[in-house]
Amino acid sequence: RNGEPLGILATHFCQPRHSSEHDLRFLDLYAHLAAEFIERKRAEERLRRNEIYLEEGQRLSHTASWAWNVSTGEVYWSTEMFRIFDLDPDIVKPGYPDVLQYVHGDDRVRVKKTFEDAVRQKKEYELAYRIVWSNGTIRYIHNLAHPVFNERGTLLEYVGTTIDTTERVQAEERVRKAYERVDMILESISDNFFGLDKEGRFTYFNPHAANQKRALGRDPDALI
């Protein structure tokens, strides 16, 4: 259709002959069908390649995609979504509210309320919560969802992304606990301990140093 050569169509006859009008019409039909077949196969290959790239990108970034049809309740999950929830796509068919059974019990009511409030108000929502695998492993995920409307403004579906944030959350927790241990040590020592930045400004006083400043008539909080 765009003038690009797609291939060669050859016809063979048992005896030398001139093609009739009937032959030429069929030849034109065959060429048209062959062109459509080749173009369709190329489009399918491009789509398959794009799907592979998308799936690999989701796997590497721990980011999954999903969609939920408001009227039919039909749910689509990408391959990475099943991996995040540690579920077998050949066994489990995702759906709402069934998916709530995988949400941590302490987060379930909040997740349900946030999602249903967003649907009722037809708005976007963002939510972080925990899920529990069948073996008891707790994972942290972050959802971002966007409503899709038709030309009349009717809500059709929600599409969204789900990110596995477990490693980041656990790293932040380790850092927080490390800071707590440092603070506990600094607050327990009997010496005056304070911190300065490179400009010579106070950034920290332990309790003994803060008390010393107060004894000298200075407010330690105002000095930081």
Backbone angles phi, psi at 159, to 5 degrees: -120, 145
| CA 63 – CA 52 distance, rounded (Å) | 14
The yes-or-no verdict on residue 107 having pLDDT over 90 is yes
Q: Which is more confidently placed, 183 or 127?
A: 127
Q: Where does the pLDDT of residue 86 fall: very low under 50, low under 70, confident under 90, or very high at 90 and above?
A: very high
Average pLDDT rounded to a whole number, residues 118-142: 93
Nearest alpha-carbon partner for 192 in 163, 166, 160, 215: 215
> Burial of 207 by CB count in 10 Å (0-12 exposed, 13-18 middle, 19+ buried)?
middle
Q: What pTM value is reported for the model? A: 0.59
Mean pLDDT in residue range 44-60: 66
